Amino acid sequence: MPHSDGGLGRTTEQMTYPYAENTYVDWDFQEIWTEDPEFDVNEGYPWLRWQVADDIPNPPALAHSPIPEHEAINVPANTAIGWTYSSEEGFSDPHGFILNLWIGDPEGDPYQAAMEGGPGEYYFSVHPFVLDHETSYHWRVIPYVIHEEEQIVAENCSIWSFTTETSTGIEEIFAPLVTKLQGKFPNPFSGETTVQFSVGDSEKVKIEIFNLFGQKVTTLADRFFETGQHEIKWNGTDKSGGALNSGFYFIRMHTADYGKTLKMHLIR
């Protein structure tokens, strides 16, 4: 029988599965080589067993040390939500985190925000959600890794809870004018809403709109404003002028040393 050390003088058809009888003579297909009958690993050619194409990473471990602490009460409404992620053997370090928040019981679709990052301590310095007084919330952090444009998420993530403090009802009536995102009216809205804010000292102000997934849909302002009260109108469109779908959106205002986010409901 003719002998071949591999593919010398052989055609592609003889070298790809099903192989010609005189092609891979004396090759060890039990311990060393693997066939590729589906042509999905090495285009039909044999491949070494230790050559694993695109190993799928393990899911990340769980986030821990929630802020506020689990079942905390009298939590200030402006508390920054935070957590810690520690590397653990056998788990992949995350590429980012998904934050879910439910008002009341953890039922239905939660509000969502996202943040990129790996091991370490995390805080949403610009609050992604508007927290009401005297309200119970449930929330969780889902670490994830990206593999071939797909998310692999941590399994069995804990759901934490906290309850916000009672409102004092005291407004800053006599306080000097400060930089502040004051509100949007009407809310919910269907055609147009007015965003009201104040600027303490003349400074650059950026006002942006985000969807529930933390994706920016448009920028309403990115310029200097003089000291005083200001208004900007938004008609529920994205940066290209296209009408957005009904749902919840977040308006975020930030300057060099101030940041605040409010929730709004668009109804078509």
Among the candidates 164, 195, 216, a domain finishes at: 164
Q: Are residues 120 and 204 in the same domain?
A: no
Calculated CA dihedral for residues 231, 236, 239, 243, nearest 10 degrees: -160
Whether pLDDT at 94 is above 90: yes
Give the β-pairing of 160-164 and 72-75: parallel
Assign 239 a pLDDT band (cuts: 50, 70, 90).
very high
Query: Is 173 inside any structural domain?
Result: no
Question: Residue range 117-125: average pLDDT?
Answer: 77
In the block, which residue shows the tokens 């995102």? Answer: 181
Among the candidates 140, 164, 188, a domain finishes at: 164
pLDDT of residue 140: 95
Q: Are residues 154 and 228 in the same domain?
A: no
pLDDT of residue 264: 83
Question: Residue range 140-167: average pLDDT?
Answer: 90
Q: Where in the sequence is the domain holding 16, given as residue range(s)?
A: 1-53
Assign 65 a pLDDT band (cuts: 50, 70, 90).
very high
Q: Are residues 160 and 72 in the same domain?
A: yes
**Number of Cβ atoms within 10 Å of the Cβ of 256:** 9
pLDDT tens digits for range 164-209: 988 765 444 444 667 888 776 777 788 888 888 889 889 999 999 9
> In whole angstroms, how far apart are CA 113 and each of 159, 161, 250, 262?
15, 17, 10, 13
Tokens encoding 200: 């303490």
| CA-closest candidate to residue 41, choices 60, 59, 54, 32 | 54
Query: Is 196 inside any structural domain?
Result: yes
pLDDT of residue 203: 92
pLDDT of residue 130: 67
Assign 54 a pLDDT band (cuts: 50, 70, 90).
low
pLDDT of residue 162: 95
Buried b (16+ CB within 10 A) or exposed e, 219-230: ebbeeebeeeeb
User: How many domains does the chain contain in total?
Assistant: 3
| CA-closest candidate to residue 2, choices 18, 29, 25, 27 | 25
Q: Which residue has the higher pLDDT, 22 or 156?
A: 156
Q: What is the pTM of this model?
A: 0.49
Whether pLDDT at 63 is above 70: yes
